[in-house]
Amino acid sequence: MSVIQLTVNGHQTQVEAPPMKRLLDVLREDLGLTGAKEGCGEGECGSCSVRMNGELVNSCLVPILQADGAHIQTVEGLAIDAELHPLQKAFLECGGAQCGICTPGMLMAATHLLVHNPHPTLEEIREGLAGNLCRCTGFIKIFDSVIAAAAMGGAKTHAR
């Protein structure tokens, strides 16, 4: 077992876990943050996407030892209390979320995109979300959501 220090959504925390336990499983099982989902478990579907030290990663592919000391942002860190992040509002308004399994990952990939590129073109949105699969929406409403969020100033981070 390893003792791992993490800052998750701005809160410092510590967990004890086998070093090869996946970041995804630590978030869900040890920290009770069940936003990130396991879809494929092999880095193809993006439903476990989180940001680690400012980089978008698939949390199913990160052994927890590699996250020691890292800052992790999950979908739970987007809203501030009852105030949804502009991307979350846009997903609601544009029908970007249906069954919801892909949504946390979509939101984190879209957050990452807008942080680096506040006003992306459709082509850039398609590329930024290429690693996130959705079986409900046909993607168009998701792309519409990101465009709407960008117009709302979605790049602004909601740091507490």
Partner 1 sequence: MRGNPESHELISPGSLTGVLAQLSAEPGTWTPIAGGTELMVAHAAGRLNASRLINLWGLPELDFIRIGDNSIAIGGGVTFGRIRKNAAIATEFPLLSKAASWIGSIANQNRATIAGNIVNGSPAADAPPALLVYDAEIELISKRGTRRIPYADFHLGYKRSVLQPDELVLALHLPRRFARNKQYLRKVGTRKAMAITKVALAASAVIQNNVITEIRLAAASVADRPVRLLATEDALLGMPLSSETIRAARTALLSEVLPIDDIRSTADYRKQVAANLLEEFLRELARGDASA
Which residues sit at the interface with partner 1, rule CB under 8 A?
Answer: 17-22, 25, 38, 41-44, 46, 49, 55-58, 60-63, 65-66, 68, 109, 112-113, 127-128, 130-132
* Closer CB to partner 1, 84 or 115, in the complex: 115
Q: How far is the CB of 133 from partner 1 (least distance, A)?
A: 9
Q: How far is the CB of 82 from partner 1 (least distance, A)?
A: 29
- Terminal CA-CA length for the chain: 32
Q: How far is the CB of 140 from partner 1 (least distance, A)?
A: 16
CB 144 within 8 A of CB 151: no
Q: How far is the CB of 30 from partner 1 (least distance, A)?
A: 12
The label of the residue with tokens 């946390």 reads 104
* Closer CB to partner 1, 5 or 92, in the complex: 5
* Closer CB to partner 1, 41 or 95, in the complex: 41
* Closer CB to partner 1, 7 or 84, in the complex: 7
CB 51 within 8 A of CB 78: no
* Closer CB to partner 1, 42 or 81, in the complex: 42
Residue closest to 113 by CA, chosen among 76, 148, 155: 155
Q: How far is the CB of 83 from partner 1 (least distance, A)?
A: 27
Give the pairing of strands 55-58 and 11-17: unpaired
CB 109 within 8 A of CB 56: yes
CB 107 within 8 A of CB 37: no
